[in-house]
């Protein structure tokens, strides 16, 4: 920094000295050109190595950054491919899970239908058994009522026929039979 300030001060001194003249003097113009060449040469000798080193370093930094960016890009692409493979695998697993769930649902549906048919058949058989049982009970009840009705009618008929002297005659016949 010090050198740059000193160099600027030295090079600007002749310009202020020649600024007072009004016409173009070739002699002063030659000095100006010479001063510029000296300034440029001095600037080159003082800063050339540093600027060259800085530019070389900058070039190397840019190359390193580009190489790092390329490496990062390759790593990112590898990760993208890895994630794409994982996504494909997950999609495949998801499809398998969907297929398994569909099969399980179909199996459960078939089981439920079979179970419902079984229950319907059981209920149907139960209803048939109930109907048969009620039919048997009704038949027995009708049979019992028919027997009771027949007995009542027979009793009524016997009472009508037995009234009077016939009853004594039947009783005597019955006693004779028992006695034999």
Supply the pLDDT for residue 167.
67
Q: How far is CA 25 from CA 14, 16, 17, 19, in A?
A: 15, 15, 14, 12
- Encoded tokens for 100: 């398994």
Supply the pLDDT for residue 145.
86
- Domain hosting 172: range is 2-179
Residue ranges of alpha helices (H) inside the chain are 2-18, 26-162, 166-179
Number of structural domains in the chain? 1
- For residues 148, 154, 157 and 158, what is the CA-based torsion angle, rounded to 10 degrees? -120
| CA distance linking residue 180 with residue 176, whole number of Å | 6
C-beta neighbour count of 156 within 10 angstroms: 10
Q: What is the pTM of this model?
A: 0.40
> Among positive and negative, which fits the CA dihedral 126, 130, 133, 139?
negative
Supply the pLDDT for residue 48.
85
Terminal Cα distance for the chain, rounded: 167
Supply the pLDDT for residue 153.
83
Supply the pLDDT for residue 148.
85
> Among positive and negative, which fits the CA dihedral 73, 74, 80, 84?
positive
Q: What is the pLDDT along the chain (180 residues), one digit of tens a residue?
A: 677 666 676 666 665 555 555 566 777 888 888 899 999 999 888 888 888 899 999 999 999 999 999 999 999 999 999 999 999 999 999 999 999 999 999 999 999 999 999 999 999 999 999 999 998 998 998 888 888 888 888 777 777 776 666 666 777 777 788 876
CA angle 52, 71, 87 (to 5 degrees): 160
Supply the pLDDT for residue 99.
93
Please list, in sequence order, all residues whose beta carbon lies within 8 angstroms of the beta carbon of residue 170, skipping any fewer than 6 positions away. Answer: 162
Please list, in sequence order, all residues whose beta carbon lies within 8 angstroms of the beta carbon of residue 46, skipping any fewer than 6 positions away. Answer: 3, 7
């Amino acid at each position: 920094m010090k050198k740059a300030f000193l160099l600027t001060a030295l090079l600007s001194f002749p310009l202020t000295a020649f600024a007072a003249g009004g016409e173009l003097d070739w002699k002063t113009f030659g000095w100006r050109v010479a001063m510029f060449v000296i300034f440029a040469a001095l600037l080159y000798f003082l800063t050339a190595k540093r600027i060259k080193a800085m530019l070389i370093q900058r070039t190397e930094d840019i190359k390193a950054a580009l190489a790092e960016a390329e490496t990062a890009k390759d790593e990112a692409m590898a990760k993208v491919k890895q994630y794409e493979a994982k996504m494909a695998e997950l999609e495949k697993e998801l499809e398998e899970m969907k297929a398994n769930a569909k099969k399980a649902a179909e199996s459960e549906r078939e089981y439920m239908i079979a179970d419902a048919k079984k229950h319907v058949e059981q209920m149907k058989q139960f209803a048939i058994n109930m109907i048969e049982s009620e039919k048997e009970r009704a038949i027995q009840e009708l049979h019992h009522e028919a027997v009771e009705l027949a007995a009542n009618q027979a009793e009524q008929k016997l009472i009508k026929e037995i009234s009077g002297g016939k009853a004594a005659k039947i009783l005597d016949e019955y006693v004779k039979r028992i006695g034999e």
